[in-house]
Structure 1
């Protein structure tokens, strides 16, 4: 048998006080004596009282919910991002509604509209460049903050990483070990991250006098797999993968080709996940600190609710973590 949810009136009846007194006590209003507040709160807990979120939202014009749009939850980078944002949101008293865009314009439009229909207080989104007009329209009425990427020409703020420090340090580490021919698995060139990382790789290779071999990959680890096979045909002594999915593809291809990482070739991946550290040769990483990115984005979005200004963007610096995968010297 399903019982009706406990109401403020039920608690008031059990405590012998007015509904308004119960309401103030549950809000921890100091106008109600401490002992009375504690008694009412204890009885509310015994009766399994749950605040009516919808009623509260109607009264305050707030839903205490955040929307998050990521390209895919299969990609562990975006899963880690979502987990960090959700945890930070919970600590701030917000629920998180997470949806995915599949890296295509119709789906991101559908995802954003679904979140707006639920009247979320704000949205964090990994943007799709072809959706810029729709996203700018949304930003006029709903606080919107990009994460991981920005869109050239758009004024919507973004929390992103700066790939330059990590890529430069990785190339310097390889050059110091005698590497002169470096293969690079580039991420998709339709994103700001893919474009900027490739430019940084090319710039620092030129500064260090290193030969470059570039394969243009994409969103899927299969593209990193085939790209690695093609790069190996040109005999680089080291490989750098431009994002986490390219890293997974590179690992699979090197294992398939029986190339001994750290002894026959040097490998640098992107994004520091635990399984990178438990490989036969733990993988050296360019780390963008996805947790810091997610938490910063959530805090900046929530901070914007207090005023009329858009959320603030931020830049998180990458770092290079050297491990056994680069011990090989040609």
Structure 2
């Protein structure tokens, strides 16, 4: 039993004094095709508007053999970069005629599988996924069941289409500028090493040292995962190891930066914090920090638009190519030439 009353096309037809067939044709935009009188069209539309009635999307989609929905799987809803992707994608999907379902994997392989299975059960028309593993065969299996585009992360060794930022290039520039200032001690805090962001961002870090003819201290390169508490732990361990802060710090995600900043604030409210702080991903709150933080800014709009376009192309049976989306650096601490 329910206290809610749901109107049907039959109800609208009765209220407007027309047949169910006529009401259906009008409300589904086929009045002109069947030459229904303008006065009848106006009457039915007015009755529908007065009763806040919308034709059943389910019935229409059933006829088209589509669900009118897309899925987005992201590691964390609290991760600013991934939240921005969801925020940007939702209106784009809506404008394209899709409802977007957003679920979180918590960067856990088992949770990711359950999330995708739930979306499959809902018969989503396509899936955009930020993978949390490098299991190419698993993602290839899902790609056989529906259009699948990898977003923000690629799966190394997989031919599945991806849309990711040009992380290596931007991290290279960020680190190279610091080295050019005479900085020789840059701690690197990264996530799981088998994930593509870790591979790409570490590659940019290492290439900057190589280009400068220098060798980084391997003890200052650490990896855990991309959760905030890991940033805190790596910062604490680095401080304990050196007995002080390093000259500079690069965090491979803003969530790791949050953890590192939490440690600095707890220790001495940033009084002895490193002069050079760098991060992958940005947030406006970094403008308010007591230390300037140079950060790589991903193009969330570009990532969202290109991933949706590829899902739509796959739905249309068209081939798609992977894409590297340009990012840029927000320089809060200008370096001298």
Scaled by the length of structure 1, what TM-score is found? 0.89
Alignment of 1:90-105 (within 5 A): 90-105=94-109
Q: Which residue of 2 aligns with 1:43?
A: 47
Aligned to 1:158: 162
Structure 2 counterpart of 1:86, from 80, 90, 100: 90
Indicate the larger mover: 219-228 or 192-201: 219-228
2:17 aligned partner: 16
Q: Which runs of 5+ in 1 are unaligned?
A: none
| Cα separation, 2, equivalents of 1:309 and 1:208 | 44
Per-residue CA shift, 1:164-218, capped at 9, x if unaligned?
Answer: 2321221233234332322211222120111111011101121023452312232
Q: Which of 308, 312, 318 pairs up with 1:309?
A: 318
Give, in whole Å, the separation in 1 of the partners of 2:329 and 2:303: 17
**Matched residue, 2:310:** 300
Q: 1:290 and 2:280 equivalent?
A: no
Q: Matched residues in 2 for 1:274 and 1:34: separation?
A: 53
C-alpha displacement of 1:33: 5.7
Counterpart check, 1:243 vs 2:250:
no
Indicate the residue corresponding to 1:28 in structure 2.
29
Question: Which deviates further from its counterpart, 149-158 or 33-42?
Answer: 33-42
Q: Distance in 1 between matches of 2:328 and 2:9?
A: 53
Q: Contact between 1:261 and 1:267, CA under 8 Å: does it hold in 2?
A: no
Q: If the length of structure 2 is used for normalisation, what is the TM-score?
A: 0.87
Q: 1:158 to 1:23 in 2, by over 3 A?
A: same
1:145 is matched with which residue: 117, 126, 149? 149
Per the alignment, residue 267 of structure 2 pairs with 257
Q: 1:156 to 1:35 in 2, by over 3 A?
A: farther
Runs of 5+ in structure 2 lacking a partner?
none
SS of the equivalent of 1:129 reads coil
- Whether contact under 8 Å (1:240, 1:267) holds in the other structure is yes
CA-CA distance at 1:81 after TM superposition: 1.5
Greater shift after overlay, 224-233 or 260-269? 260-269
Q: What residue in structure 2 maps to residue 189 of structure 1? A: 193
Q: What is the CA–CA distance in structure 2 between the aligned matches of 1:261 and 1:205, rounded to whole Å?
A: 28
Counterpart Cα distance in 1 of 2:86 and 2:256: 20
Pick closer, same or farther for the CA change 1:34–1:122 going to 2, 3 Å: farther
Q: Report the RMSD for the aligned CA atoms in angstroms.
A: 2.5
Deviates more, 1:225-234 or 1:26-35: 26-35
Residue of structure 1 equivalent to 2:222: 215
Mapped to 2, the partners of 1:259 and 1:178 lie a distance apart of: 26
Q: 1:311 to 1:15 in 2, by over 3 A?
A: farther
Structure-2 separation of matches of 1:214 and 1:98:
33
CA contact (8 A) 2:28 2:55 kept: no
- 1:228 pairs with 2:235: yes
For the 8 Å contact 2:264–2:273, the answer to whether it is kept is no
1:216-265: CA deviations, max 9, x gaps? 23222222122223334445321111112221122122223337489852
Following superposition, the deviation at residue 157 of structure 1 comes to 0.8
Name the SS for the 1:219 alignment partner: coil
Corresponding residue for 1:2?
3
Residues 34, 89 of structure 1: CA spacing in aligned structure 2 closer, same or farther, 3 A cutoff?
Answer: farther
